[in-house]
Amino acid sequence: MSFCPNCGAPIEFRVPEGDDRKRNICSATGEIFYDNPRNVVGCIVEHEGRILMCRRAIEPRLGFWTLPAGFLELGETIYEGAARETREEAQAEVVDAELFAMIDVTHIGQVHIFYRARLAGSHYGAGQESQLVSLLAEDDIDWPQLAFPTIYRALERYFADRRAGTFGLHTESLGANDWKAMQLARSPDGGRT
């Protein structure tokens, strides 16, 4: 931010009095502009033992697999946003949703929040942001082709909980280096090549 969006005055990047970090501050009025994390919301949708997955039709990670998820909009609850993203990306309605995972991704200023839910009925299809939507068993998921580390981690936790017969609420933080370690762990040769 170089100029105040309200008055056009130059912006100063400094620590305001009583704060502990640098902020964008209007040099004319002293108004502080906060830059806070963005929330990504989505669903792990299960139907007959398989998970609803979308192949991305947009960047970033065009052609890679993801769960139906996207940015929370103003005026909607976290669940409303997750259900909306599922409708938009997978043309699917969900029921019996329960909060499942919250993953901090601090290096990109995001929090990813996932519900686990069941598919209402059997209808699904590709929305505008998806090339293909499929119900996949755990063994059919192409783990190296997952679009984002949070998708990988949420699915990993989901399948572990399902095998254990009980679902918990998972919270964790992922750093920039965690993705390579996850990819190596799921590679066919265990990362030996």
pLDDT, tens digit only, all 193 positions of the chain: 999 999 999 999 999 999 999 999 999 999 999 999 999 999 999 999 999 999 999 999 999 999 999 999 999 999 999 999 999 999 999 999 999 999 999 999 999 999 999 999 999 999 999 999 999 999 999 999 999 999 999 999 999 999 999 999 999 999 888 877 766 666 655 544 3
DSSP string for residues in 121-162: SS-----TTEEEEEEE-GGG--GGGBS-HHHHHHHHHHHHHH
Predicted structure pTM score: 0.86
Domain boundaries, given as residue ranges, for the chain: 1-35, 38-186
Give backbone dihedrals phi and psi of 86, rounded to 5 degrees, phi first: -65, -40
In the 3-class helix/strand/coil scheme, how is 42-105 assigned residue by residue? Answer: EEEEEECCEEEEEEECCCCCCCCEECCEEECCCCCCHHHHHHHHHHHHHCCCEEEEEEEEEEEE
- Is domain 38-186 in CATH 3.40.720.10, yes or no? no
- Say which CATH topology domain 1-35 has: Ubiquitin Ligase Nedd4; Chain: W; (2.20.70)
